[in-house]
Each structure stands twice: as structure tokens, then as C-alpha cells.
A and B are shown apart, each in its own frame.
Chain A
């Protein structure tokens, strides 16, 4: 199943990656080969088979929705790329009012 260069770039955009043309070309070849390998699954009849998302069946665990304090806020924020007044600084996502 060949994957076109455009498709590679479309998927890359969906998962927020970017490639130069040479990388994208290489990816389209590799992904095509890997997807070909996946074709083997299509030979199985799974019409009446339910999907498994977790192999070990456990009942849904419920708990009280309580706020608990975390004792190392400093340590958390120390990993942030940019912090101001205990808040994480990000690029502006809203337009300034005209």
C-alpha cells in the first residue's frame, strides 16, 4: 500500500511533526513497506470478534473526586521551559483587540 508524499505530510501535520522533503520521501517508502506488512491481518475473518483494548479485565475503579495537594510545585515548574509568577508562559493564541 503505497503512501504518497502528500499523505506523509498530512499525517505529519496531524501529529505535529515536520520533515524536509528528503526525510518525507524516506518515510513514505518505509511506511509503505510497514503498511504492506500489516496487510496480513486482512486475511483473517474478524466480523464476529469483539475488540480487546485491555487484556486483563478489571472492573472500572471508582473513587471520590477529591482535590489532593501536591508537595513539589517548585519541582514541577522547574521542568517548564518558561515560567513567570508560577505560571507557564506560552505563545499568544488569541488576537489582540483591534
Chain B
């Protein structure tokens, strides 16, 4: 590929080279699968691979390009989290209960990517039904962090984050209910965006907590996120919660805003939260650099300390309802019994893993007679307070900056036995989902052990244009490429 190594590829660079004829999509996809064969036996980011089909689609993309056909992702190899339906391929959600499920239809985001000419290479690993922060809850295997194979890649979209970090595909789609895109992006040193609730259609995304779930992109750069977001965003008749807002050309916007001055808020409650000192220091360093060209203001989000408890009532409550559909009747695993109730119970006891059962139990409890008011309704009211905090803050500032995670990537096995500890690792990302806001995780440095540190930017509803613009400015200011040492060996 004329001297360009795979670690130098971004979507934007690949598109330019494809356009100039310096590479073909077939070459790009072949190189992607070489990368997968070399590294995925160790990293284990993928649950399913579509090599043959991908090469065929790459060939088609090359032919289309020759004929002058356009597509914003024509010939670009991407992966998809295995809770998003790609027609004709498995969608397991990392669960035994859907182990043999073949998606009979296409998720809207997948339809959109294909319409832009993207080449789908496979489905990535996740915590079962996206419930978890490490991929350790996958019923199949744990994905490894490419920066240190003894550590978790984060979760639930850990497979997508690890795949992009290792350049096994130059972008991916994940889903984020409480941090499932941003936390793994931070742990793996890639960029991850959770868009505003409603900006991207959820049709074909297997439901976890419907008022919090959102599909979003992983990429190596902010520009790539801008390209991917443009491709997947927009109103969809098949998702009644998708919003009819106009979708700007994000790539153009971030370039226009290269020098735009923002008022940036630092939520004091976030910085008061107990966290790893190196993460805190790195965020402060970046903020200090931003002070030269932007206005920095301290703001208060007083209900932050209540967010995790609120989330772990609302999300399991919605999950317990959504996951009622896995009953052994219509599709998925069935454990036969002559008695219907017994069939339900045996099927669900065998098909669901521990964390999924835990959340179904919590959710059922929080919704059950006598406890609804004390738990579910109470949490939904506190959710209002958390949302109001953000709306107040955005009267004073354009955007907020916070850490993504309170700790660097933890060791495999370190937190899996203590669910509450695992839940608390989402403390900085959860409030964003409760408030329906967009949040982006940007790699901004490495700690003394060489592990990536992420910075979170939070924006007002539907202001991905501002969010991406600031992220692009910070990325340029830091001017550092994040390549795991594994790839240099």
C-alpha cells in the first residue's frame, strides 16, 4: 500500500487514498483481515467475522468508485457491536440465550452504513446484553485490553474499542446506556461518542434500557467520528423516539470552528470525586492548556452523587421489562418442559448469565408492588434533578469537561466479584445518559504505566457540532497518536 502502514490509516486518510487510487478497498480489507489474524487470537475482540462477504463488498466498492459512484464510507472496513442487527448474521448480545439467533432484518444504522458503501467485517464482543464495564460478562470470552493484555478493555462495547485500537477495522459502532461507548474508548485510547438520545435510530439495536440506550461511533480521530456520525444520524420512521433534527456536515463544521472560542464548564462535583491522581492531573493539564484560548468556568451539578444509584434502579427496571421477551417461545434458546411456566424459568435460568439475572432481579424488585414508589418513582424524580442540573449549567457554559473514568483500565478479575464496585466505575458517564445528552471520550495521554487516559466532553442536547468542534481543537492541541505497543512489535 505504497509505504502507508496500517497504523497510519484513519477513515479520512483511507478515503483520500482510495479516491486517488493509491489503494483499493480490497487491499484495505485484506490488510484488515491480516491484522485480525495476527492480533485477534490474543485480543479476542470479535465474536463473528465476515471475511468472504467483506472481500466481495470491497470488490464491489472498488468497482463503484471506478464508475464514479460516491459514498461517504465507500470501501471502508468497519465492525459492529454484536447487539446491533446485521441481516443474515448472528446477533448474540454476548448471551447464550441468543447464541443461535440470526438477525432477520437490518438495523437502521447498518442500512445507512451500507448505503454509504461501508464494508462490514464482523461483530464485536460485549458484556451480555451490554450489561457491564469490562466484557467479562460476555457468555463467550473476555476481550483483552490491547495496551495491556492482563487488563480489561472496558465495556460493554469493549470488543469495538479494542478492535479499533488494534486497527482491526478503522471504525466501529457500539451502544452506550451508562458509558458503554465512552468508558471502553477511554480504556483503549480511541475516540468514542454517545450521541444525544434520539439523534441516531435505535431500530435493530437489542433493547437494554430503552430510555437510556443510544448507538454511537468509535474512531481513531475526531474527524472519523464526524464522518461516521453524519452517516448514521437522522430521523427514522422505525424508531418513534428518533428526533427530526437537521444533521449538519459535522466534518465541515469542525473545520469551520477550528478557532472558535468556547466557554467551558468544569463540574466541581466531578473533580471532588475520588479518582486516580494521574487521571486528575492529566485532565487539569489539558484544561490549563485550554485556558489560553477559551473561558473556563467552574460549574455545579449538585446531584451528581445520586446518579449511580438512580441509574442502577432505572436501567435494571427497564431491562427487566425489555428482557421479558426472552421466554423460550418465539426465538432464542428454549429448555423444553411440558409446563409453560417451567419452560420460561428453565430457559431463562440457563440462558442468562449472572449479571443479567442480577439486573432483572433488581429491576423487578424496584417495580414490584409496594416498592415502586420508593425505588422506581423516586429514581425517576431524582433523574429530573440531575437533568435540571445540566440544563442550568448549559445556561452558563457551552460545553463541560470531565474525566471519563475514575481509574485506569483495571485487571481482568479485579472487580467482577463486587458488582457495586463495578457499577461505580461508571460514575462520570452515567449522568449523561440519565440526561439524554451527548458525551464524547477523547484520548488525551498515557499514565506512568503506559495506559490511556480519556477526557469527556459533554454538550447540550443535539449540539454534537459544538462537542466535536472542541474535541477536534483539543486533539490538535495535544497532537499525539495513540498506538498500543502491541502493534509496534
CB-CB under 8 A from B320, the residues of chain A are 15
B384 interface neighbour in A14, A16, A35, A51, Cβ under 8 Å: A51
Residue of B nearest to A19 (CB): B349
The reply to whether B241 and A54 contact each other, CB–CB distance below 8 Å, is yes
Binary CB contact string for chain A from 1 to 27 against chain B (1 if under 8 A, 0 otherwise): 001000010011011111100000001
The reply to whether B341 and A78 contact each other, CB–CB distance below 8 Å, is no
Q: Is A96 positioned at the interface, with any CB of B under 8 Å from its CB? A: no
- In the docked arrangement, what's the CA distance between A37 and B310, Å? 10
The reply to whether A81 and B365 contact each other, CB–CB distance below 8 Å, is no
The reply to whether A91 and B337 contact each other, CB–CB distance below 8 Å, is yes
The reply to whether B362 and A79 contact each other, CB–CB distance below 8 Å, is no
A30 interface neighbour in B100, B303, B329, B419, Cβ under 8 Å: B419
- Interface positions, chain A 62-88, Cβ under 8 Å from B, are 63, 70, 72, 75-76, 78-82, 88
How many chain A residues touch the partner (CB < 8 A)? 48
The reply to whether A88 and B362 contact each other, CB–CB distance below 8 Å, is no
- In the docked arrangement, what's the CA distance between A23 and B130, Å? 23
Q: Is B33 positioned at the interface, with any CB of A under 8 Å from its CB? A: no
The reply to whether A88 and B329 contact each other, CB–CB distance below 8 Å, is yes
CB-CB under 8 A from B397, the residues of chain A are none
The reply to whether B331 and A18 contact each other, CB–CB distance below 8 Å, is no
Q: Is B434 positioned at the interface, with any CB of A under 8 Å from its CB? A: yes
How many interface contacts (CB-CB < 8 Å) are there between A and B? 159
- Interface positions, chain B 13-59, Cβ under 8 Å from A, are none
The reply to whether B348 and A16 contact each other, CB–CB distance below 8 Å, is yes
Q: Is A93 positioned at the interface, with any CB of B under 8 Å from its CB? A: yes
Tell me the minimal C-beta distance from B393 to chain A in angstroms: 15
The reply to whether B419 and A34 contact each other, CB–CB distance below 8 Å, is yes
CB-CB under 8 A from A38, the residues of chain B are 309, 312-313, 375, 379
Tell me the minimal C-beta distance from B429 to chain A in angstroms: 15
Q: Is B333 positioned at the interface, with any CB of A under 8 Å from its CB? A: yes
Classify the secondary structure of B's interface with A.
helix
Q: Is B487 positioned at the interface, with any CB of A under 8 Å from its CB? A: no
The reply to whether A51 and B383 contact each other, CB–CB distance below 8 Å, is yes
- Interface positions, chain B 190-206, Cβ under 8 Å from A, are 196-198
Classify the secondary structure of A's interface with B.
loop
- Tell me whether A16 and B341 are in contact in the complex, defined as CB-CB below 8 angstroms, given that A38-B312, A55-B435 are known contacts: yes
CB-CB under 8 A from B303, the residues of chain A are 44
- Interface positions, chain B 164-197, Cβ under 8 Å from A, are 196-197
Q: Is A56 positioned at the interface, with any CB of B under 8 Å from its CB? A: yes
The reply to whether B312 and A17 contact each other, CB–CB distance below 8 Å, is no
Tell me the minimal C-beta distance from B380 to chain A in angstroms: 4
The reply to whether A17 and B358 contact each other, CB–CB distance below 8 Å, is no
- Tell me whether A17 and B329 are in contact in the complex, defined as CB-CB below 8 angstroms, given that A34-B312, A53-B380, A93-B340 are known contacts: no
The reply to whether A56 and B196 contact each other, CB–CB distance below 8 Å, is yes
Q: Is A49 positioned at the interface, with any CB of B under 8 Å from its CB? A: yes
Tell me the minimal C-beta distance from A22 to chain B in angstroms: 13
Tell me the minimal C-beta distance from A82 to chain B in angstroms: 7
The reply to whether A15 and B360 contact each other, CB–CB distance below 8 Å, is yes
The reply to whether A17 and B360 contact each other, CB–CB distance below 8 Å, is yes
Q: Is B346 positioned at the interface, with any CB of A under 8 Å from its CB? A: yes
- Tell me whether A17 and B387 are in contact in the complex, defined as CB-CB below 8 angstroms, given that A12-B361, A27-B358 are known contacts: no
Q: Is A97 positioned at the interface, with any CB of B under 8 Å from its CB? A: no
Q: Is B378 positioned at the interface, with any CB of A under 8 Å from its CB? A: yes
Residue of A nearest to B211 (CB): A54
Tell me the minimal C-beta distance from A50 to chain B in angstroms: 6
The reply to whether B383 and A81 contact each other, CB–CB distance below 8 Å, is no
The reply to whether B101 and A79 contact each other, CB–CB distance below 8 Å, is yes
The reply to whether B344 and A16 contact each other, CB–CB distance below 8 Å, is yes
The reply to whether A56 and B330 contact each other, CB–CB distance below 8 Å, is no
Binary CB contact string for chain A from 32 to 64 against chain B (1 if under 8 A, 0 otherwise): 011101101110101001111111101001010
- In the docked arrangement, what's the CA distance between A8 and B88, Å? 39
The reply to whether B362 and A31 contact each other, CB–CB distance below 8 Å, is yes
- Interface positions, chain B 413-433, Cβ under 8 Å from A, are 419-420
CB-CB under 8 A from A19, the residues of chain B are 349
- Pick 7 A–B contacts, CB within 8 A, sort by A: A34-B419, A37-B308, A37-B309, A46-B384, A54-B436, A78-B104, A81-B331
Q: State the A residues within 8 Å of B (CB).
A: 3, 8, 11-12, 14-19, 27, 30-31, 33-35, 37-38, 40-42, 44, 46, 49-56, 58, 61, 63, 70, 72, 75-76, 78-82, 88, 90-93
Q: State the B residues within 8 Å of A (CB).
A: 87-88, 100-102, 104-105, 196-198, 211, 237, 240-241, 243, 303, 305-306, 308-310, 312-313, 320, 324, 327-334, 337-341, 343-346, 348-349, 352, 357-358, 360-365, 368, 374-375, 377-385, 387, 419-420, 434-437, 461
Beyond the given A31-B358, A79-B101, could you list 16 further A-B residue pairs with CB under 8 A, ordered by the A residue number? A3-B365, A11-B361, A12-B361, A15-B320, A15-B361, A16-B324, A30-B358, A41-B378, A46-B382, A51-B383, A54-B241, A58-B198, A76-B104, A82-B334, A88-B330, A91-B340
